[in-house]
Structure 1
């Protein structure tokens, strides 16, 4: 049994601009006893569903500028909280977190909700995990399109010294200042929004996932997820036939224009990206523009 903490619901009372229905399950196969949380907004019978996958150390609050655009198109939006983040339970031991622990959670949730005609929306760890999901044929059959932002595929190589410094900092900082970290590259955040990023973590004991996540990136061939990353690269390069859209926060010091250009070269048919010159790593904070451009590209909204 995994020992976990649960953030009190009252911690989210002051979160601004994020009043969406929250669903919970404590019986996902393989995760019995752990409460998983996710946003489920829009028509249950919608013919399209946007699956928004967050990264580290954020939670789906990061998508609050994009979700209204997706909903206005008539779609359903599912935004899961990974375990250790948001409203989902937070294991207290770092060793309980692994690449497969998070990836399998997403697969089980998609199966539980029987999501189809998925537009997958990913950034950071949302991409490291999400881009490997189509290696599973069951998920690949559910996926129609995807929107990718500032992320990569873990294939056994390090993203570089900037990432290594971030990993060392995270592992050595038990009480990571999550909101301030996100605000560093996102200067337009208000104090209330910064506090909202801190809301899931009433104390340092809730932050094991935020601390250990960078150390789980498959930077060596022998690490969990590296073989999946290589298989995923083959899928996107050779088997992908759906639509894609890429947006890049050019001010990201680790996963900016050059790394994203390398990722784009792996994605069959991926068009030229939308570049946000001032956009940092958490580029969803410029998300309304990105969402509208993506939907226009997909034909869901008229181009402006």
Structure 2
């Protein structure tokens, strides 16, 4: 397995992320070494809160919460899932699967020997984290979830399943404009929700170099509209990494990915 590692210099000047890195090396299915990063802040004898992020973010997501929780006496453990943040990144899409993420994070949990843990899982951090709880129930005391779950719905009507498959199989490239139109401008019906998520899946599959800074900035902060448009323009020109229009947040979410190979 080819494994990539983001250079430390990419994280050197991040604001609001002053945390010392902690690394754990686990083994992949082919016996490769895979290094997983985590934050460990707060009193060592404090109650442990395990914060697992989702897609398309990393432990930076919790950077403003961690100091407050640590000051309140909570020991916060915030890992970067493999493929994200300061953790190693298997290079090929086929290297990743839901089960492998669960297996990798189970190893990480067991090697660090955490007990009496409260899990907070967000997005994919919940899908993976809940499986970790099921596999290591003696290590966990309680669970809190945000925007996540264990999705299983065998009762989805067949006509909706057919529409999703047809949409996925359509080779027409999904532009960012069409993606956003299908992802955001939806109603509340089951069909509209499922098709909206299918837009996110397809856009991720088709786009080799996702504009993660732009996506996260769009959803997490208020920006000057002109500045934001200029950031998107620089991105389209292939000048993302030198754009002077990026916000602190967009820089942080681009940091783990120096080029499209990541």
Shared topology, TM-score over 0.5?
yes
State the shift of 1:141 in Å.
Answer: 1.3
Q: Which residue of 2 aligns with 1:42?
A: 42
Tell me the C-alpha RMSD between the 2 structures.
1.9
Q: Which residue of 2 aligns with 1:87?
A: 86
1:211-257 deviation line (CA, Å, top 9, x unaligned):
xxxxxxxxxxxxxxxxxxxxxxxxxxxxxxxxxxxxxxxxxxxxxxx
SS at match of 1:174: coil
Q: Which residue of 1 aligns with 2:196?
A: 162
State the shift of 1:28 in Å.
Answer: 4.7
1:238-280 deviation line (CA, Å, top 9, x unaligned):
xxxxxxxxxxxxxxxxxxxxxxxxxxxxxxxxxxxxxxxxxxx
Q: Which residue of 2 aligns with 1:227?
A: none
| Cα distance in 2, alignment partners of residues 89 and 147 from structure 1 | 27
* Structure 1 residue 196 corresponds to structure 2 residue 230: no
TM-score norm. by structure 1 comes to 0.62
Distance 1:76 1:161, change over 3 A: same
Q: Confirm or deny: 8 A CA contact 2:26 2:107 kept in the other structure.
A: no
Pairing 1:182-193 to 2, within 5 Å after superposition: 182-188=216-222, 191-193=247-249
For structure 1, the residue ranges without an aligned partner over 5 or more in a row are 207-304
TM-score norm. by structure 2 comes to 0.72
More relative contact order, 1 or 2 (CA 8 Å, 6+ apart): 1
**Structure (1 or 2) with the greater helix fraction:** 2
Q: Confirm or deny: 8 A CA contact 1:39 1:77 kept in the other structure.
A: yes
Q: Confirm or deny: 8 A CA contact 1:29 1:108 kept in the other structure.
A: no
Pairing 1:206-221 to 2, within 5 Å after superposition: 206=262
* Structure 1 residue 103 corresponds to structure 2 residue 77: no
Q: Confirm or deny: 8 A CA contact 1:49 1:77 kept in the other structure.
A: yes
State the shift of 1:29 in Å.
Answer: 7.1
Larger Cα-atom Rg: 2
State the shift of 1:144 in Å.
Answer: 1.3
* Structure 1 residue 21 corresponds to structure 2 residue 20: yes
Q: Which residue of 2 aligns with 1:210?
A: none
Distance 1:164 1:23, change over 3 A: same
Which contiguous aligned blocks of 4+ residues in structure 1 show a shift greater than 3 angstroms? Answer: 27-32, 156-159
Q: Which residue of 2 aligns with 1:64?
A: 63
Q: Which residue of 1 aligns with 2:33?
A: 33
1:21-77 deviation line (CA, Å, top 9, x unaligned):
211123457564222111122233x14111110111110000112212221121211
| Cα distance in 2, alignment partners of residues 174 and 27 from structure 1 | 27
Q: Confirm or deny: 8 A CA contact 1:24 1:38 kept in the other structure.
A: yes
Pairing 1:1-304 to 2, within 5 Å after superposition: 2-28=1-27, 32-44=32-44, 46-136=45-135, 139-155=136-152, 160-188=194-222, 191-206=247-262
Q: Confirm or deny: 8 A CA contact 2:121 2:129 kept in the other structure.
A: yes
Distance 1:188 1:10, change over 3 A: same
Q: Which residue of 2 aligns with 1:243?
A: none
| Cα distance in 1, alignment partners of residues 200 and 26 from structure 2 | 34
SS at match of 1:160: helix
For structure 2, the residue ranges without an aligned partner over 5 or more in a row are 157-192, 224-245
1:115-146 deviation line (CA, Å, top 9, x unaligned):
1111111111001111222221xx21111122
Of 189-198 and 90-99, more deviation after overlay is shown by 189-198
Q: Confirm or deny: 8 A CA contact 1:5 1:90 kept in the other structure.
A: yes
Q: Confirm or deny: 8 A CA contact 1:40 1:78 kept in the other structure.
A: yes
